[in-house]
């Protein structure tokens, strides 16, 4: 009885602690919501006080069924107990049951479809690589036949699921519209060439196993699902930067693989070890035959001469096939590598032409080294020399989308453009130009007329001033803007008041004054607002500290010193009292002097 009471009290304490932890967790979540959304009032966020539970006078006797009903966890809650806390999570079986398969799939952007293509290509590679091996080499035996059949039918199941579930849900474009109707997608797939190949690759030739035995050649139609392989390659090229290496290497290895299988079949046909040309049956059969295939297809030489007519014909066909296959592969590799490195080739040609030009005109070595440094940094940081060349080929809407993603967060923070038309800012984003400055390069110099605004994308710049012009006044970091007043200054632009130097490598966006004026023609309200802001900023920036009169503006009557306040009070009191004394006469003369000065 004492043990049961102790266990019951410990259960009550654990339950109480779990409730307290739950309340603390709810309070923490609500505080997080308040921090993320400050508009939420604090009245609704105070959690209700936990009801006080009276301490039981005596521990009740638990029923024979075990625990108390009030402390039993519901069966539909999957709990994972850890110390005094209970973390609830939905079981994976319920998630699997509640998962709804999409009615339509975008084959270009859906990652789930790309992952499924990987499994389809994996099954296709199983058939393409292992059917020749099982046919030529003695690796398929009665003891392991069930393993081979199990893997074969798993691959067939993947093929079948691809036809019934995925291919009938793929979206397609018709007349410029993306078709996602289930019936239309199904009919489109049934009329396509891919459906015919998918059905052909699943021909049930396995029924001939009962008559001729388990012959792997009867599964050769499974290799006809090559369209999935090419589709997966195209998706892979969109993700990887050098997918052509994977594709070309796979072609080379597979051709050597098939040649090694044919060599072992020819050796078995002639008899293993019967002549010096055939495989002698020693060592690992696949490795030895693969080595022979590599030497034959690459035409290295050093192989024994064939003796029989069959061996001579086989070797001739092998040589012809090797020369043709390798010429095709080398040509394809050259084209693919050339296309993949076209940008690098363009960069090298531009740099070489510039170096030749500087050498011809005997440009100093210091300037040549800085030019080379600019080429190298620009190429390695951007991957291109001019970003505008890449965006020229895109439609105007896509250029705007890219410009918004890259530059809008920076431009929208410029005080000069706040409150302007949103579309005007969008048009301005497309006119920004990216320029790279080297360390210690002058972005702008004091006294020159400013016609551009600069936005720092990467790197830092320093504003120099002081008597010697080398004192660092401020360091501007990425996201900072300078030179915006010069865009709207009249009379050819205002002059720069300080030197701005790149501290290291700096990538800046530049907006030209001419481009902005062309944009403001279509937005008169924004133009008025910008003019007002520019005038205010110019007044605060260019306000002189000491206002002195020019030498030619001398007054006829020079200004006198200010009258003492006590004397002014006495004169004013005399005027109020009246009289004709000396103070009243002096007061009259002061009035006359003020009128003359005015």
DSSP label at residue 220: G
Please give the C-alpha separations between residue 153 and each of 28, 113, 115, 117, in angstroms, as whole numbers.
Answer: 53, 22, 20, 18
Rounded distance between C-alpha atoms, residue 167 and residue 189, angstroms = 7
Q: Which helix (H) or strand (E) holds 427?
A: helix 422-429
Residue whose structure tokens are 């720069």: 496
Predicted pLDDT at 71:
44
Predicted pLDDT at 543:
54
Q: Which helix (H) or strand (E) holds 177?
A: strand 177-179
What Rg value do the Cα atoms of the chain yield, rounded?
43
Strand partners, 461: 476, 502
Say if residues 355 and 368 touch (Cβ distance below 8 Å).
Answer: yes
The set of residues, in sequence order, having a beta carbon less than 8 Å from that of 578 and lying 6+ positions away, is 584
Rounded distance between C-alpha atoms, residue 111 and residue 412, angstroms = 34
The dihedral built from the CA positions of residue 526, 397, 402 and 344, taken in this order, carries a sign that is negative
Rounded distance between C-alpha atoms, residue 541 and residue 482, angstroms = 13
Rounded distance between C-alpha atoms, residue 434 and residue 377, angstroms = 14
Rounded distance between C-alpha atoms, residue 256 and residue 98, angstroms = 48
Task: Domain 394-542: state its class.
Answer: mainly beta
Predicted pLDDT at 222:
93
Q: What is the pLDDT of residues 315-338, one digit of tens each?
A: 888 888 878 877 877 777 777 777
Predicted pLDDT at 150:
94
Strand 461-465 vs strand 471-476: parallel, antiparallel, or unpaired? antiparallel
| Extents of the domains making up the chain | 94-239, 241-385, 394-542
Q: Hey, how many other C-beta atoms are within 10 angstroms of the C-beta on 168? A: 19
Predicted pLDDT at 578:
57
Expressed in angstroms, the distance from the first to the final Cα of the chain is 111
Arch. (CATH architecture) of 241-385 = Orthogonal Bundle (1.10)
The pTM score is 0.56
Predicted pLDDT at 557:
42
Residues of the chain with pLDDT under 70: 1-7, 9, 31-93, 96-97, 241-244, 299, 301, 339-340, 383, 386-390, 488-494, 538, 540-587, 593-598
Predicted pLDDT at 490:
57
DSSP 568-584: HHHHHHHHHH---SHHH
Task: Give the closest residue to 216 by CA, choosing from 290, 132, 138.
Answer: 132
Say if residues 444 and 496 touch (Cβ distance below 8 Å).
Answer: yes
Predicted pLDDT at 521:
87
Structure tokens at 159: 């093929």
SS3 content of the chain, % helix, strand, coil (to 5): 60, 10, 30
């Amino acid at each position: 009885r004492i043990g049961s009471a102790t266990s019951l009290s410990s259960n009550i304490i654990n339950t109480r602690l779990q409730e307290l932890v739950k309340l603390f967790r709810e309070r923490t979540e609500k505080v997080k919501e308040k921090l993320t959304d400050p508009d939420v009032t604090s009245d609704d966020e105070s959690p209700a006080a936990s009801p006080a539970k009276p301490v039981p006078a005596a521990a009740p006797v638990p029923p024979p069924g075990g625990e108390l009903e009030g402390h039993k966890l519901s069966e539909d809650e999957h709990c994972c107990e850890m110390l005094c806390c209970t973390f609830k999570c939905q079981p994976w079986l319920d998630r699997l049951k509640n998962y709804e398969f999409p009615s339509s799939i975008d084959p270009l952007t859906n990652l789930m479809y790309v992952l499924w293509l990987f499994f389809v290509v994996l099954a296709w590679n199983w058939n393409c690589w292992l059917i020749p091996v099982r046919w030529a080499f003695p690796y398929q035996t009665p003891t392991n036949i069930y393993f081979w059949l199990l893997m074969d039918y798993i691959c067939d199941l993947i093929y079948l699921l691809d036809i019934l579930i995925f291919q009938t849900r793929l979206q397609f474009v018709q007349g410029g519209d993306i078709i996602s109707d289930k019936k239309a997608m199904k009919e489109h797939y049934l009329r396509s060439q891919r459906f015919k190949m998918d059905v052909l690759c699943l021909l049930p030739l396995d029924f001939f196993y009962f008559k001729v035995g388990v012959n792997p050649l009867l599964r050769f139609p499974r290799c006809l699902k090559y369209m999935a392989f090419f589709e997966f390659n195209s998706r892979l090229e969109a993700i990887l930067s050098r997918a052509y290496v994977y594709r070309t290497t796979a072609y080379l290895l597979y051709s050597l693989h098939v040649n090694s299988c044919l060599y072992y079949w020819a050796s078995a046909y002639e008899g293993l070890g019967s002549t010096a040309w055939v495989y002698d049956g020693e060592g690992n059969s696949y490795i030895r035959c693969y080595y022979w295939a590599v030497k034959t297809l690459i035409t290295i030489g050093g192989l024994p001469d064939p003796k029989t007519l069959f061996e001579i014909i086989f070797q001739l066909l092998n040589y012809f096939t090797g020369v043709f296959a390798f010429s095709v592969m080398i040509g394809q590799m050259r084209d693919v590598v050339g296309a993949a490195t076209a940008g690098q080739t363009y960069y090298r040609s531009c740099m070489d032409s510039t170096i030749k030009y500087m050498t011809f005109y005997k440009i100093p070595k210091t300037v040549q080294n800085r030019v080379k440094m600019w080429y190298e940094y620009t190429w390695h940081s951007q991957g291109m020399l001019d970003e505008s060349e890449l965006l020229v080929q895109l439609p105007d809407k896509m250029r705007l989308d890219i410009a918004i993603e890259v530059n809008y967060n920076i431009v929208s923070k410029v005080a000069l453009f706040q409150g302007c038309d949103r579309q005007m800012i969008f048009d301005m984003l497309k006119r920004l130009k990216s320029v790279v400055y080297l360390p210690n390069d002058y972005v702008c110099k004091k006294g020159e007329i400013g016609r551009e605004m600069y936005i720092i994308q990467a790197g830092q710049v320093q504003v120099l001033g002081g008597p010697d012009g080398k004192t660092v006044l401020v360091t501007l970091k990425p996201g900072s803007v300078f030179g915006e007043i010069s865009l709207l200054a009249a009379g050819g632009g205002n002059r720069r008041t300080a030197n701005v130097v790149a501290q290291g490598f700096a990538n800046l966006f530049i907006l030209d004054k001419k481009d902005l004026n062309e944009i403001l023609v279509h937005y008169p309200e924004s133009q008025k607002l910008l003019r007002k802001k520019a005038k205010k900023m110019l007044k605060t920036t260019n306000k002189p500290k000491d206002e002195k009169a020019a030498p030619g503006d001398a007054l006829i009557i020079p200004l006198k010193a200010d009258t003492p306040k006590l004397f002014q009070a006495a004169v004013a009191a005399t005027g109020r009292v009246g009289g004709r004394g000396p103070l009243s006469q002096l007061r009259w003369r002061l009035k006359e002097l003020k009128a003359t000065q005015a």
